[in-house]
Structure 1
Amino acid sequence: MTRLLPLIALALLSACAAPLPAPAPSTLGGSEAQQRANRAARQFVQVVQTVEPVAERECRERTRGLNCDFQIVIDDRAELAPNAFQTVDRFGRPILAFNIGMINSVRNADELAFVMGHEAAHHILDHLAKTKQSATIGAVVFAGIAAISGAEAEAVRNAEQLGAAVGARTYSKEFELEADQLGTIITYRAGFDPLRGAEFFARIPDPGNRFLGSHPPNAARLKIVAETEKALRQR
């Protein structure tokens, strides 16, 4: 199965990336822009210091044998569209990655905390491993069907690639909603407002309910956040 790993890795990266709004072109002067960047940096540090220990505690309480030592990293390439995602390094340590566009595009600390909680939840719920398994199964099944049908080697390879992509996306919408639910819990327990944090959904294109789409409709995500936050307040 070694040959499948590059295909699966690509599928995993696309599956766990969260689409976020691109920032509007800046009309600020140099000094004002620098002050805004400094505020965003201070806010990021504050949110990391507050959310990370809560996420690690939730991870330890909910899992067995999973590495819960989160590492927060920043991609400083300013030209990239705002994005955040979760992955693991070669030792299995969970990484929560944010780029500069993401850090600068959130409107408040609640939004940043919610995104951080959401990405941490992907790791706690072991979504990468589950997605990898689905991608592997999809690749094997599609390639097997192509081979049985007498397809040539190139067609079998194409089927394998398609199978990996389809497999990786099979449960992606469910995983996003699960991460929204647990992310709401992490955000709330860290002292932030998950409802206010989830308002960034209103600023991103609604994926609707597209076949094989990687993210669920925005309305479904907002609904599960509201329901989870209500349940937390009633405890």
Structure 2
Amino acid sequence: MRRLTFLLFPLVLVACSADFLRVQPAEEWSPDSGDFQVDAVAFQDISRAVGKAARAECLRQSKVSNCDFTILVDLNPRAPVNAFQTLDKQDQPVIIFTRSMIQSAKNPDELAFVMAHETAHHVLGHIARQTEIAQESAAIFNDLGKLYGEDGKELERSQKLGAEVGVQVNVKDFELEADQLGTIITHNAGYDPLVGAKYFDRLPDPGDEFLGTHPPNAERVQIVVETARQLGLTE
């Protein structure tokens, strides 16, 4: 499985093997602990509903052609709280939840919102967009490096820095775009995005750093509320 991933709330460009993941299809997953506030049956229902709504939105927007979502659970009990979007070998979208992510959710709406957020990254073509941005920024830094007489490893470092800066400058916009569309997908799947977005209340606020990976929590909640209002879910 190719792992160009959109992590749960940081958006990073990663290129490595995901073979280390001990994954299981959502429809087969069953927790062996009573600590989960959302049981396996509910998680399977969420996966089917969000996957169906995301596929419909993906086909409607037509920004990408691969719209068949697979939802998996990372069985590693030590994996941190996280959910991310990646692509399989056939370039079909895959959403992976860690057990601790499922365990951290207070209700089905929160899990549905997180899942919808991750599917939105794919629907909006963010993997391709961040790859393109990284390449363009690396080329700019390469030209600047040559202008200042760099070559060899110095030039490679400049290219790498350029790719990282290009992605980081745009990462907050990508997250907000995914929050907005994720709100719509959550609603279309039959869950309440306003309840789901309360997950932000338990996330550390990243503030508003220039090259940070997260938008401020308040900004993310605001776009959910505004989108929900457009959907007629609030005054």
TM range (shorter): 0.7 to 0.9
CA drift of 1:231 comes to: 1.1
SS at match of 2:55: helix
CA drift of 1:90 comes to: 2.8
**Aligned equivalents of 2:64, 2:179: Cα separation in 1:** 23
| TM-score (structure 1 length as normaliser) | 0.84
Q: Deviations over 1:32-78 (max 9, x none)?
A: x8223495322211211221111111111111551110011111111
Distance 1:179 1:38, change over 3 A: closer
| TM-score (structure 2 length as normaliser) | 0.84
**Aligned equivalents of 1:70, 1:233: Cα separation in 2:** 28
Which residue in the other structure is 2:13 paired with?
Answer: none
Distance 1:224 1:150, change over 3 A: same
Which residue in the other structure is 2:139 paired with?
Answer: 140
Name the amino acid aligned to 1:225. V
Name the amino acid aligned to 2:160. Q
1:160-175 to structure 2, matched below 5 A, reads 160-175=159-174
Gaps of 5+ in 2: 11-31
Which residue in the other structure is 1:201 paired with?
Answer: 200
Which residue in the other structure is 1:18 paired with?
Answer: 8
SS at match of 2:34: helix
Query: 1:41 touches 1:103 (CA, 8 Å); kept in 2?
Result: no
Which residue in the other structure is 1:34 paired with?
Answer: 33
Distance 1:38 1:65, change over 3 A: closer
CA drift of 1:159 comes to: 0.9
Structure richer in helix, relative to its length: 1
Query: 1:176 touches 1:215 (CA, 8 Å); kept in 2?
Result: yes
Q: Does 1:51 align with 2:41?
A: no
SS at match of 2:232: helix
1:179-218 to structure 2, matched below 5 A, reads 179-218=178-217
Q: Deviations over 1:3-56 (max 9, x none)?
A: xxxxxx99x54xx21249xxxxxxxxxxxx822349532221121122111111
SS at match of 2:33: helix
CA drift of 1:197 comes to: 0.2
Identity %: 42
1:56-205 to structure 2, matched below 5 A, reads 56-63=55-62, 66-205=65-204
Gaps of 5+ in 1: 1-8, 21-32
Which residue in the other structure is 1:222 paired with?
Answer: 221
Q: Deviations over 1:195-214 (max 9, x none)?
A: 11001111111111111112
Query: 2:142 touches 2:159 (CA, 8 Å); kept in 1?
Result: yes
**Aligned equivalents of 2:38, 2:67: Cα separation in 1:** 29
Which residue in the other structure is 1:30 paired with?
Answer: none
